[in-house]
């Protein structure tokens, strides 16, 4: 399926920039003309291509394109796996098929056997994966083909043609089976692998068995499921695929199994309870290759094949632009599709509203991919309704948000070991690239145009039918508007979609989900679409499993409902609003009756909080976030500190108008200041003139005082001289203190600031009193 896969494996890592630079220069100057130089190990470059015999081919590898996702030859990118994962080289492919007859739910008889778990102590291990990374470890690197080295055969070796032991395998794309233990001739206990780098999330299974025997009843029991409730308790059957039936009769996946029972495991590890799923099966052929799965698989390679067909279609490629949104942790491409018809004018193009759709944030919910495929099939078709939708909307589609999880067979998490649908508010771009870039793409989109609707496709493990989770709007102007689209969808698909199962309560534990984050960003119609793993309990589909076509048809109904929702004739919209108000009144009456209270809805009953009426959504058991892994906590703290420092330092950019105003202000300030100073000087002129007279008198006093001081010093040397100032602490005014230098005198008469200068009366002060007033403690306040 993958041409040139071996040469891709040779590369293993990105080309070294320095090595590539040197190689190009050496090639340019003719150093590689000699074949001996080409084969020299010192000059080998990862940019060179190698043939099957490991001989150097003197051609440079085509440069990796930044945004293109398929090479010029139209080959697919091989999935990149964590280096801990062993991967078989066989390519797995299944045909699409619709059963000609309805596949009804299993009807319990009450006589179903509950096998006691034996374990490998009393059984025989016939398949066991090497230890896989669990909680405490984390993803480090990836490569095409996964783990290096020779892939060992994990299944048991058959002793001969009569050996009827089943051969198990799950080391392929989306596969999940950790261990198989044979506890009887035709009875096996199965252990599922937890999501990588976690110790939980066991729900999705997908594995292969070979060496089957016809007309023999086999029993399989999965022993380590974690959810206490399951659709297997209300009639859901596992899926089986026979390779011989597919090759001979063109029959694909079908619901099979008898004596189906979901029950609590009798073993307890002291930390968490496990649950078992058991069923019996009869294979249709001898020596067949069969597969079992929780739901119809849809792999990363399936998506790439579909997108490649779109890219090669000359008509579809005109209005569907495929780009790389980002690379996942393992380096797999996360694709972004922009679907819209070209507009006649730029004004009409800018006026289009946007619709954003995404799927497979939870990798084990493959039903989301089948709904997405149905949507893409219709919106890319030449149907008049599809053309109309492309004329009035810009569709942004992320068909697989978590390719790494899909590839390795996880049920819930990415390779970060966390549920991505609880981290849409993350700032860790490198650790959660898929949702970080999705949120950033929608943020930019909101700056360009209105986003009418956001919907993230999911699967549900405990409810039948298809339904939506939304967000109650607090704006009275748009009261109940978020419920109109789900109600319309229930009318367009009455045998599949259940409006009664919809819920619009925003719980605190769901604040990190895509639905709530996009709603808080300003998208009124923000939804999570939940599709059952089982089937319908409505109308003509009652008690019948959903097929691939049922899910794909819902993608069409989404498009059909969009047209009704945006119809210029608001009759349908108004009718739905009236119906919603009536349904809400009935629900309010029901709630108050259950409480034994009376309520009067004649007044402003619309003020009643909708959150008080609705119950919490019964989603998955892993609805609470596990928080960040230990190795990411310090990174978050550092990023938060950097962001805070940037917020303090960074100044907002100014517009041209603001810059011009600031420039004019700075230019006029000197002129204004000069004018202001001139007026201030004119007002202070009389005061300054009097102050000048005062300081001149003061200077005269100073000079005469210095002369008198010199005379006093010369006279004090004569015998019988008595000072005229009293000493410190003396009450006798006839005594004088010891003479001081004239520096102290000058310091005690510093001029006051201009604004403090007041008009003072002219004083007549003797030099002696002026000199002593600055030093004598006995001097009066007026003298000081």
**Residue-wise pLDDT tens digits, 252-301:** 999 999 999 999 988 766 677 899 999 999 999 999 999 999 999 999 99
Measured between alpha carbons, how far is 332 from 353 in angstroms, rounded to an integer?
Answer: 30
Contact 603, 620 (CB under 8 A): no
- Say whether pLDDT at 144 is over 50: yes
Q: Coil, strand, or helix at residue 371?
A: helix
Contact 439, 511 (CB under 8 A): no
Measured between alpha carbons, how far is 519 from 526 in angstroms, rounded to an integer?
Answer: 6
Q: Coil, strand, or helix at residue 145?
A: coil
Least confident segment among 82-86, 312-316, 447-451, 712-716: 712-716
Contact 144, 573 (CB under 8 A): no
Least confident segment among 229-238, 355-364, 476-485: 476-485
What confidence score (pLDDT) does residue 589 get? 77
Measured between alpha carbons, how far is 613 from 590 in angstroms, rounded to an integer?
Answer: 9
- pLDDT band (50, 70, 90) for residue 218: very high
Q: How many of the other CB atoms lie within 10 Å of CB of 276?
A: 22
DSSP label at residue 214 = B
Structure tokens that stand for 365 in this block:
């919910």
Percentage of the chain beyond pLDDT 90 is 55
What confidence score (pLDDT) does residue 753 get? 44
- pLDDT band (50, 70, 90) for residue 680: low
Percentage of the chain beyond pLDDT 70 is 67
Least confident segment among 73-77, 128-132, 356-360, 375-379: 73-77
- pLDDT band (50, 70, 90) for residue 711: low
What confidence score (pLDDT) does residue 463 get? 95
**Between these two residues, 150 and 305, which has the higher pLDDT value?**
305
- Say whether pLDDT at 238 is over 70: yes
Measured between alpha carbons, how far is 363 from 299 in angstroms, rounded to an integer?
Answer: 9
Contact 283, 292 (CB under 8 A): no
CA distances (Å), origin 731, targets 728, 739, 750, 779, 780: 9, 18, 29, 11, 13
- Say whether pLDDT at 689 is over 90: no
DSSP label at residue 152 = P
What confidence score (pLDDT) does residue 223 get? 95
Q: Coil, strand, or helix at residue 286?
A: coil
Helices (H) and strands (E) in the chain, counts: 20, 24
**Between these two residues, 425 and 707, which has the higher pLDDT value?**
425
- Say whether pLDDT at 611 is over 70: no
Measured between alpha carbons, how far is 244 from 287 in angstroms, rounded to an integer?
Answer: 9
Tell me the β-bridge partners of 82.
Answer: 142
What confidence score (pLDDT) does residue 749 get? 39
DSSP label at residue 283 = B
pLDDT digits (tens, 9 = 90+) for 660-677: 877 777 777 666 555 555
Structure tokens that stand for 705 in this block:
């005082």
How do strand 48-50 and strand 56-60 relate by DSSP bridges?
A: antiparallel
What confidence score (pLDDT) does residue 742 get? 40
- pLDDT band (50, 70, 90) for residue 341: very high
- Say whether pLDDT at 550 is over 50: yes
What confidence score (pLDDT) does residue 662 get? 79
What confidence score (pLDDT) does residue 493 get? 97
Least confident segment among 65-69, 150-154, 323-327, 577-581: 65-69
- pLDDT band (50, 70, 90) for residue 592: confident
- pLDDT band (50, 70, 90) for residue 500: very high
**Between these two residues, 398 and 645, which has the higher pLDDT value?**
398
- Say whether pLDDT at 544 is over 80: yes
Residues taking part in catalysis: 530
Angle at 24 between CA 22 and CA 28, to 5 degrees: 115
What confidence score (pLDDT) does residue 651 get? 60
- pLDDT band (50, 70, 90) for residue 209: very high
Region 239-256 average pLDDT: 97
- Say whether pLDDT at 48 is over 60: no
Structure tokens that stand for 514 in this block:
């895509």
Contact 344, 408 (CB under 8 A): no
pLDDT digits (tens, 9 = 90+) for 746-762: 343 344 444 444 444 44
- Say whether pLDDT at 561 is over 80: yes
Least confident segment among 61-65, 138-142, 299-303, 370-374: 61-65
What confidence score (pLDDT) does residue 39 get? 40
| Chain mean pLDDT for the chain | 79
Least confident segment among 270-274, 279-283, 311-315, 713-717: 713-717
What confidence score (pLDDT) does residue 776 get? 43
What confidence score (pLDDT) does residue 377 get? 97
What confidence score (pLDDT) does residue 273 get? 87
- Say whether pLDDT at 708 is over 80: no
Tell me the β-bridge partners of 124.
Answer: 182
Region 534-552 average pLDDT: 97
Region 548-552 average pLDDT: 97
- Say whether pLDDT at 621 is over 50: no
Region 481-508 average pLDDT: 95
- pLDDT band (50, 70, 90) for residue 655: confident
What confidence score (pLDDT) does residue 497 get? 97
Q: Coil, strand, or helix at residue 189?
A: strand
- Sequence-distant (6+) residues with CB within 8 A of 712 are 723, 739
- Say whether pLDDT at 691 is over 90: no
pTM higher than 0.75, yes or no? Answer: no
- Sequence-distant (6+) residues with CB within 8 A of 252 are 94, 95, 96, 97, 241, 246
Torsion sign, CA atoms 679, 684, 689, 693: negative
- Say whether pLDDT at 615 is over 80: no
Structure tokens that stand for 442 in this block:
């929608």
- Say whether pLDDT at 175 is over 50: yes
- Say whether pLDDT at 432 is over 70: yes
């Amino acid at each position: 399926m993958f041409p040139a896969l071996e040469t891709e494996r040779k590369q293993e890592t990105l080309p070294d920039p320095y090595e590539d630079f040197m190689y190009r220069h050496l090639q340019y100057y003719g150093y590689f003309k000699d074949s001996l130089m080409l084969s020299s190990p010192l000059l080998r470059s990862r940019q060179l291509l190698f043939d099957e015999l490991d001989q150097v081919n003197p051609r440079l590898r085509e440069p990796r394109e930044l945004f293109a996702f398929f090479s010029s030859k139209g080959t697919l990118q091989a999935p990149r796996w964590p280096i801990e994962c062993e991967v078989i080289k066989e390519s797995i492919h299944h045909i699409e098929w619709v059963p000609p007859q309805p596949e009804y739910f299993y009807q319990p008889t009450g006589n179903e056997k509950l096998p006691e778990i034996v374990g490998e102590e009393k059984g025989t291990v016939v398949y066991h994966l090497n230890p896989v990374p669990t909680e405490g470890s984390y993803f480090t690197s990836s490569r095409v083909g996964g783990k290096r080295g020779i892939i060992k055969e994990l299944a048991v070796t058959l002793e001969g043609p009569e050996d009827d032991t089943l051969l198990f395998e799950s080391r392929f794309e989306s596969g999940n089976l950790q261990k198989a233990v044979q506890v009887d001739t035709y009875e096996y206990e199965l252990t599922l692998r937890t999501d990588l780098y976690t110790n939980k999330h066991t729900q999705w299974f997908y594995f292969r068995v070979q060496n089957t025997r016809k007309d023999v009843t086999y029993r399989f029991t999965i022993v380590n499921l974690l959810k206490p409730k399951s659709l297997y308790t209300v009639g859901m059957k596992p899926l089986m695929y026979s390779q011989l039936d597919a090759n001979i009769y063109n029959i694909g996946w079908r619901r099979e199994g008898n004596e189906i029972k979901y029950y609590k495991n009798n073993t307890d590890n002291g930390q968490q309870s496990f649950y078992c799923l058991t069923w019996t099966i009869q294979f249709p052929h001898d020596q067949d290759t069969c597969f079992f799965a929780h739901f119809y698989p849809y792999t990363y390679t399936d998506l790439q094949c579909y997108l490649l067909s779109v890219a090669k279609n000359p008509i579809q490629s005109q209005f569907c632009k495929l780009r790389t949104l980002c690379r996942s942790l393992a380096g797999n491409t996360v694709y972004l599709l922009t679907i819209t018809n070209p507009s006649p004018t730029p004004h009409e193009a800018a006026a289009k509203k946007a619709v954003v759709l995404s799927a497979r944030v939870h990798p084990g919910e493959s039903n989301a991919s089948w709904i997405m495929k149905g949507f893409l099939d219709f919106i890319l078709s030449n149907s008049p309704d599809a053309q109309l939708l492309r004329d009035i909307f810009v569709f942004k589609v992320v068909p697989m948000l978590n390719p790494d999880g899909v590839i390795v067979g996880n049920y819930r998490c990415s390779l970060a070991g966390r549920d991505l649908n609880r981290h849409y508010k993350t700032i860790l771009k490198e650790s959660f690239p898929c949702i970080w870039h999705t949120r950033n793409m929608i943020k930019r989109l909101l700056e360009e145009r209105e986003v009418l609707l956001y919907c993230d496709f999911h699967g549900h493990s405990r409810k039948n039918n298809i339904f939506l989770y939304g967000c109650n709007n607090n704006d009275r102007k748009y009261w109940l508007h978020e419920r109109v689209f789900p109600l319309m969808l229930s009318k367009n698909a009455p045998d599949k979609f259940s409006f009664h199962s919809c819920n619009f309560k925003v719980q605190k534990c769901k604040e990190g989900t895509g639905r709530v984050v996009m709603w808080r960003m300003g998208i009124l119609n923000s939804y999570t679409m939940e599709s059952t793993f089982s089937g319908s309990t409505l109308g003509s589909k009652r008690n019948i499993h959903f097929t691939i076509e049922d899910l794909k048809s819902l993608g069409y109904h989404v498009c059909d409902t969009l047209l009704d929702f945006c119809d210029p004739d608001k009759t349908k919209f108004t009718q739905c609003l009236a119906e919603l108000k009536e349904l809400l009144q009935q629900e309010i009456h029901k709630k108050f009756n259950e409480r034994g209270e009376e309520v009067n809805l004649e007044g402003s009953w619309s003020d009643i909080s909708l959150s008080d009426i609705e119950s919490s959504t019964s989603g998955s058991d892993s609805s609470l976030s596990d928080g960040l892994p230990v190795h990411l906590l310090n990174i978050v703290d550092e990023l938060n500190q950097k962001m805070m420092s940037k917020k303090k330092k960074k100044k907002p950019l100014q517009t041209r108008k603001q810059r011009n105003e600031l420039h004019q202000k700075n230019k006029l300030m000197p002129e204004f200041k000069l004018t202001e100073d001139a007026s201030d000087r004119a007002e202070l002129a009389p005061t300054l003139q009097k102050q000048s007279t005062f300081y001149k008198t003061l200077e005269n006093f100073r000079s005469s005082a210095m002369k008198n001081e010199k005379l006093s010093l010369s006279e004090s040397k004569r015998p019988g001289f008595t000072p005229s100032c009293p000493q410190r602490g003396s009450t006798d005014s006839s005594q004088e203190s010891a003479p001081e230098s004239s520096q102290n005198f000058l310091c005690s008469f510093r001029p006051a600031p201009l604004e403090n200068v007041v008009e003072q009366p002219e004083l007549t002060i003797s030099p002696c009193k002026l000199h002593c007033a600055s030093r004598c403690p006995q001097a009066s306040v007026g003298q000081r």
